[in-house]
A and B are shown apart, each in its own frame.
Chain A
Amino acid sequence: MADQNHETIDFVVSHGRPTTRTPLISMRGITKAFPGVLANDHIDLDVYGSEVHALLGENGAGKSTLMKILYGFYRADAGQILLNGEPVSIRSPHDARAVRIGMLFQEYTLIPAFSVAENIALFLQDLKAVLNIKEICQRIHVLSERYNLQVNPQAPVSQLSIGEQQKVEILKLMLSNARILILDEPTRVLAPHEVEALFRVLDNLRQDGYAIVLITHKMKEVLECADRITVLRGGRVAGSLLRSAASEDTLVALMFEKGLAGLQVSRKPAADESVPPLLELRGVETRGEGAETSLKALDLTVYPGEIVGVAGVSGNGQKELGDVVLGLVRCIRGTKFLFGKDTTNRSIQAVRKSGVAFIPENPLTMATAPFMTVLENMALTNAWRYARLGGLALDWQAVKTDTEDTLSKLGFSFSLYVPARSLSGGNLQRMVIVREMTHHPHLIIASYLTRGLDVQSTIAARQALLQARQSGAGVLLVSEDLEELFTLSDRLIVLYGGKVVGTFKPEEANIYEVGHLMTGSEVHHVAHN
């Protein structure tokens, strides 16, 4: 029974050094465009059996899109996929599973109330009408022994740790007959020892002929377990090389554009550190749920008149950072000071009233009431300001005036009387920026400020931040755009795994150092003051 997962595959096994043989999967000329962005641009990729192939790149480089095309979630606009040299059509995950491709997503598709065995049974191709739980447990047991994926088949999934759940997901893939495994950022939520365990599993799988594609942005892991590495950047293949030819520096050079060394960084007035900081986080720790990253012993300060840039691949705690400052997420440990006062765990309303503005990463879900008009949305965070007669009426004229003031200052324009959900993504972002900037906030937390904006609006939004800084406000700017961070920040920190792993001044920073830290390799760095 167990052997049906290990049918003979035609290839030559030579540890980590496949030579001349046909790739199991070949992707040729894959192109995929979404509105406003070319996610994959004529990408070629070869996946061999008995090999761990790492797909490396920053967020937005196109790795996830490419693999979702392979798994049938998306259809490529152009290009083809070959299985063992023959063209194959994959239009849905069903088709992908039919050719034995399996994908492990970042969000697990396990049913918490079911046991491990039931979860796996659900996906078995040959499940009998009357369940034989014992037999299924036996199959699980055999596989888990062989590949070091030990887990109790009778245990309810809700009681398993994230690492154990991942084991179940892998077993599920294998028992539903996959031989090509795509893992999307599998180590993001794992503890270091769990990462080690995973690499051992991958090694075992590889030796038994499985082809593994590992999507990741973490350098160290790539260097530790990959046989072949393909680096994507901006939707294109920046380079593809064998492990033997790769090193940290070569990979970083491929991942990040070299041109950044010549960034123009304007002189900024030094931040006033004699006054109390606007924001101070001391040893803040949060507890992430499920796949969220928790913050660990985070220290951070923002002084008046400075822009602090937060660099890092998204998913390393950026969202939690913003949420902690907002007051949405509780600090399990540590303290949060706003304007010198201890506001740890105070209400969101209190935080906002004290003069903190938030531009969140997803304006539609996080900041907008979609069915209300734009004008009404403008009043939402400041209802107390515009309320008259104790709340019986609202001064819409004042809302309109204030909004139009900011609109002209920023050079944006959109209709005030349409329902907010009818705005485009870019306009929604603009709407939120206008609302948050209107009342001269003292502290601005901006996440991915210019995502989805055109060139002009980008310039205007950045200008607005600089203006705010000029008038003494402080800014915490989270961004994936290193160019933006380098241009705007007075100080730059790098967030990785929920911790601050480095602090720089942009003019003294080396793009490679930042890149290293963003991808988790520890570079010894001395912070200059």
Chain B
Amino acid sequence: MSLLSILGVISSAIFSGTSLLYTTLGEILDERAGIVNLGLEGVLLVSAAAGFGVTSQTGNPYMGMLAAMLAGGSMNLLFGFLVITRRANQLASGLAVMFFGFGLSALIGKPYVGALINGLPRFMLPGLASIPALNTSQFKFDLLIYLVVPMAMLIWWLLFRTRWGLSLRAVGENANTAFAAGRNPRRVQYQALFFGGLLAGLGAAHLSIAWTMTWAEFMTAGRGFIAVALVIFSKWHPARAIAGALLFGGAVAFQLLLQASGIAISPFLLDTLPYVVTLLVLIAWGGTRKYAAPASLGRVYQGTEQ
């Protein structure tokens, strides 16, 4: 177990976890406003395909990133139309969006299967380069990776230190109370969904444009659901999501490390790790009833009939 292989694991975890973290942050925003998006997988796929396609067409990864963000925001707005304006059941609507994303992404991405693109450039932070041990290509990260932790802090600040965040959290706890306080729950929820979608789009962009630099059908491989699980695991808090994303994103890399040290655990069993951990956490909390979920999560805001 050399230093290089440890660094390799860490690097892998960071690459893998970044897209997860962006997506999780977006979902935290949505859920804090009371909406569960089970269709996140579909949103990610469409964003990844759109971003990859635009990058391939224009040769410009930043345009692709933008396209991915907008695609994510739009998908979430579509979802929002169903659950906010039409007051449909969030779970069924989420699954519908998932299916939609499966199909739409396949359609959008088909021409670009196997295409090569210029991904986001990777570079080392100036400070790190001076540490000889870390001066390897494995520690060259792209812009999105460097921005992800600041983004988490930004989300934290938005949620807990601004009036907008207070309104958002109030809507997620009790929309009627928020309404009594003069807020417009529907508008707040749409805003949350849109920004959440932008973040999901960033996550998807990192996946297809920056990290793997490919497009394949279903390439997100359940990341949308892992993000939903991760939101629960991090108790709807942006800071904890960082740790969780590293942990969940690093599971695969961790498995390689184990193999290298002669411990063989089936990769398939390791795949179940994020879900099993989340389940255990849910069970553990359930007993103590200290559930940290926003109180109105999943409930459809019926509005007040005057």
Contacts and interface: CB of A to CB of B under 8 A. Distances in A.
B177 A129 contact: no
Nearest to B176: A109
A126 to B, nearest CB: 11
Contacts of B161: 130-131, 133
Given A92-B306, A122-B178, A113 B166 contact: no
Contact of B169 (A92, A114, A128): A114
Contacts of A128: 163
Interface in A43-99: 92-94
Nearest to B170: A122
Interface residues of A, number: 19
B99 to A, nearest CB: 29
B180 A131 contact: no
Chain A contact residues, majority secondary structure: loop
Nearest to A133: B161
Contact of B294 (A113, A121, A122, A130): A113
A241 interface: no
Interface string B159-195: 0011110110110011011101110000000000000
Contacts of A129: 162-164
B187 to A, nearest CB: 16
A122 B162 contact: no
B164 A111 contact: no
A133 to B, nearest CB: 8
A371 interface: no
A127 interface: yes
Query: Is the interface on chain B under 10, 10 to 19, 20 to 34, or 35 or more residues?
Result: 20 to 34
Contacts of B174: 109, 111
- Highest count of chain A CB atoms <10 Å: which of B161, B166, B181: B181
A121 B162 contact: no
A111 B173 contact: yes
Chain B contact residues, majority secondary structure: helix
B295 interface: yes
B266 to A, nearest CB: 40
Contacts of B294: 113
A125 to B, nearest CB: 9
A112 interface: yes
A123 B181 contact: yes
A157 to B, nearest CB: 10
Contacts of B169: 113-114
A118 interface: yes
B245 to A, nearest CB: 24
Contacts of A131: 161-163, 166
A92 B304 CA distance: 12
B177 A111 contact: yes
B173 A130 contact: no
Given A93-B180, A122-B181, A123-B181, A114 B163 contact: no
Contacts of B178: 122
Given A94-B182, A122-B170, A122-B178, A111 B295 contact: yes
Q: Which 8 A-B pairs have the closest CB atoms?
A: A111-B173, A122-B181, A109-B177, A123-B181, A129-B163, A127-B163, A131-B161, A122-B170
Interface of A: 92-94, 109-114, 118, 121-123, 127-131, 133
27 contacts: A109-B176, A109-B177, A110-B177, A111-B170, A111-B173, A111-B174, A111-B177, A111-B295, A112-B173, A112-B295, A113-B169, A113-B295, A114-B169, A114-B170, A122-B166, A122-B167, A122-B170, A122-B177, A122-B178, A123-B181, A127-B163, A129-B162, A129-B164, A130-B161, A130-B162, A131-B162, A133-B161
